[in-house]
């Protein structure tokens, strides 16, 4: 939900977003195409029950070919309201899948394993230092998996309490938010916000691997090339953070958290395929991710990907 200036702007955005979902679903081994919807309106002032019932009925008219879920500007209670008029909703309070962060964190952890294996020949975290930017819903859970696997942690959060909690619970070192991207670490995990990989930050990176949950980590497409030239192995964000959409795909009355976690662990194999392809074709990992996704597209009706 966003206050687009006109229908044309909304249409342009929804087509861009749905194209992205097509690639994301393919890499997540989901037998779906890419669907996305947008609502024109201000999420702070234009939300009404009638609006979400109208949206729910529009989704219902598609007969299950499209499922609607939480996203930018839309909260879980809004999806719950849509769910009053259609069963084709995912990630609702009722089905227990409304918090995707455990599955996202698990997927990022396995993506990091693939990066370590590709770069160092072993996926062991023992003696490896991981810098985590943002210890919110995903970052905190990721830190727990990393600590259990024997990694050394350095964390930063603009909320000092969140950083201190991680330090106390997991023995992590705390860095100033501004300094974290330059931390002396094997892996940098952006888990806060987008556009952190840019002209200013890339020359200063000391980690040889970037793998984290944040969406749109590259400020511009060309920054994938810049990372590659600096010898940094970049786990494309939309591949490594696919646990969120994987979780949604398992949502519904029979939600099985263990099945969602097992599915997210397969992100390891997908990332290995991306890294190997990038090396073979002398291209960036971002470009290789798109090519891997395209090999998985299957015409409708030809069975699972």
Between 115 and 135, CB nearer to ligand NAD: 135
* Least distance to ligand NAD, CB of residue 35, Å: 17
Residue nearest to ligand NAD (CB): 136
CB atoms within 10 A of CB 231: 9
* Least distance to ligand NAD, CB of residue 189, Å: 10
How far apart are alpha carbons 179 and 134 in whole angstroms?
13
Between 137 and 167, CB nearer to ligand NAD: 137
* Least distance to ligand NAD, CB of residue 244, Å: 3
Closest listed residue to residue 110, CA positions, set 269, 285, 273, 244: 269
Note whether 82 and 230 are within 8 A (CB): no
* Least distance to ligand NAD, CB of residue 102, Å: 8
Query: In whole angstroms, how far apart are CA 60 and each of 28, 34, 64, 65, 84?
Result: 25, 17, 7, 9, 11
Long-range contacts of 156-161 (CB under 8 A, 24+ apart): 156/131, 156/132, 156/180, 157/192, 158/192
Catalytic residues: 36
Between 81 and 175, CB nearer to ligand NAD: 175
Burial degree of 281 (CB within 10 A; 0-12, 13-18, 19+): exposed
């Amino acid at each position: 939900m966003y206050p687009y200036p006109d229908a044309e702007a909304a249409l342009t955005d929804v087509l861009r977003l749905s194209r992205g979902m097509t690639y994301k679903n393919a890499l997540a081994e989901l037998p779906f195409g890419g669907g996305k919807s947008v609502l024109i309106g201000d999420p702070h002032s234009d939300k009404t029950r009638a609006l979400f019932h109208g949206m729910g009925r529009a989704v219902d008219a598609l007969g299950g070919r499209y499922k609607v879920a939480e996203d930018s500007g839309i909260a879980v209670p809004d999806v719950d309201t849509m769910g009053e008029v259609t069963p084709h909703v995912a990630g609702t309070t009722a089905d227990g899948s409304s918090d995707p962060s455990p599955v996202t964190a698990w997927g990022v952890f396995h993506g990091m394993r693939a990066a370590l294996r590709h770069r160092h020949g072993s996926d062991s975290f023992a003696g490896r230092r991981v810098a985590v930017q943002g210890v919110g819903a995903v970052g905190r859970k990721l830190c727990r998996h990393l600590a259990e696997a024997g990694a050394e942690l350095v964390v930063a959060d603009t909320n000092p309490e969140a950083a201190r909690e991680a330090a106390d619970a997991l023995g992590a070192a705390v860095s100033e938010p501004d300094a974290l991207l330059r931390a002396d670490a094997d892996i940098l995990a952006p888990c806060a916000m987008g556009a952190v990989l840019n002209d200013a930050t890339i020359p200063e990176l000391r980690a040889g691997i970037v793998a984290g949950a944040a969406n749109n980590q590259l400020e511009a497409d060309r920054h994938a090339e810049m990372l590659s030239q600096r010898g940094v192995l970049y786990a494309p964000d939309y591949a490594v953070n696919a646990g969120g959409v994987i979780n949604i795909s398992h949502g519904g009355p029979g939600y099985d958290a263990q099945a969602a976690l097992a599915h997210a662990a397969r992100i390891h194999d997908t990332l290995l395929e991306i890294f190997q392809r990038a090396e073979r074709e002398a291209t960036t990992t971002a470009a290789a991710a798109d090519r891997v996704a395209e090999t998985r597209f299957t015409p409708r009706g030809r069975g699972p990907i």
